[in-house]
């Protein structure tokens, strides 16, 4: 099936005008599959880290959301050890008006503001709630350990 023009356009725009701290590159052999790198936002426990993600646009895109997953280990209450992300716009709050760029910006924002009240990794969320400072310290350690380029 031919690639919809919207995907081509989005890819072109991501290459030509990337969002700050985000880079997405389509695979040459599968233009629906993207290698994504998100820099850890400043003022967050993940600052200085370089996080690798994968993004896949399903056949129904943009009517259904892209599939996004962290490849780099990260200590975050909304991201589990398999890299799956708990983010509403990737699930029931998806809208066809959203794009790859906006999705990645949302993920970046999620790094800045972890939400332990809607956890995916329960132990991390518990840690975050009970002792936020210690949790942030662990997150910083993990970032140093796993997310340094």
Partner 1 sequence: MASDSIKDSTSNHDRKDRDLGEEPLYDPRSLQYLEPTQASLQCSVCCEYFTEPVSAPCGHTFCRSCIEQALEVRSGCPLCRTTIDPSSLYEVIALSRICDELLVYCPHKALGCNHTCQRIQIGQHLKDDCIYIGTLCRVEECRKKLLKKDLSEHMESCPYKRVDCLMCNTKVQKSQLSEHHKTCPAESVTCPHCETTRTRLRHMEHIKECPRQIIPCSLSEFGCPWTGPRLELEATHIPQCPYEAIRGFLGISKTRMEALEQENKQLRGMFHDIRPQVQQLRDQVSELAESVQLMTQQEQQQAANGGGNGAYGGAIGMYGYMDNMYPHQGSQHQPMLSRNDSYDMVLAGDGIGENENEMRIMNRNNSLGAESMVSNGGGVAVDAHELLISENERIKSELETLTAGLASLELKQNMAIMTESMRMQEEVQSLRAVCHGLRMQMHYLLLEQQNRHHPPPGPPPPGSPAGGNNKSGGSGGAGGPGGSVPGGGRPLSTSGPLRPRFADGLGRQETKL
Question: Which positions lie near partner 1, rule CB under 8 A?
Answer: 4-6, 9-10, 60, 62-64, 93-99
Cα–Cα distance, 114 to 97 (Å, whole number): 25
The nearer residue to partner 1, 5 or 20, going by C-beta atoms, is: 5
Q: How far is the CB of 66 from partner 1 (least distance, A)?
A: 14
The nearer residue to partner 1, 2 or 82, going by C-beta atoms, is: 2
CB environment 6-28: b (16+ within 10 A), e (fewer)? ebeebbeebeeeebebbbbebee
Q: How far is the CB of 96 from partner 1 (least distance, A)?
A: 5
The nearer residue to partner 1, 96 or 132, going by C-beta atoms, is: 96
Q: Among residues 39, 86, 107, 110, which one is catalytic?
A: 86
Q: How far is the CB of 53 from partner 1 (least distance, A)?
A: 23
Q: Name the helix (H) or strand (E) containing 26.
A: strand 22-26
CB 75 within 8 A of CB 124: yes
- What is the helix, strand, coil percentage profile of the chain, to 5? 35, 20, 45
Cα–Cα distance, 63 to 60 (Å, whole number): 5
The nearer residue to partner 1, 5 or 149, going by C-beta atoms, is: 5
Q: How far is the CB of 144 from partner 1 (least distance, A)?
A: 39
Q: Three-state DSSP class for 68?
A: strand
Is-catalytic flag, 86? Answer: yes
Cα–Cα distance, 140 to 138 (Å, whole number): 5
Q: Catalytic positions, please?
A: 86
């Amino acid at each position: 099936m031919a690639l919809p023009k919207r995907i081509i356009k989005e890819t072109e725009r991501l290459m030509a005008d990337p969002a700050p701290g985000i880079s997405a590159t389509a695979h040459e052999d599968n233009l629906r599959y993207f290698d994504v790198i998100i820099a850890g936002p400043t003022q967050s426990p993940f600052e200085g880290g370089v996080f690798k993600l994968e993004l896949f646009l399903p056949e129904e895109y943009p009517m259904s959301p892209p599939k996004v997953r962290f490849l780099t280990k990260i200590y975050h209450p909304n991201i589990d050890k398999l890299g799956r992300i708990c983010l509403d716009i990737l699930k029931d709050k998806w809208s066809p008006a959203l794009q790859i760029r906006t999705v990645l910006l949302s993920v970046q924002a999620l790094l800045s503001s972890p939400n332990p009240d809607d956890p995916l990794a329960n132990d991390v969320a518990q840690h975050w709630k009970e002792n936020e400072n210690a949790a942030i310290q662990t997150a910083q350690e993990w970032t140093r350990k796993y997310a340094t380029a």
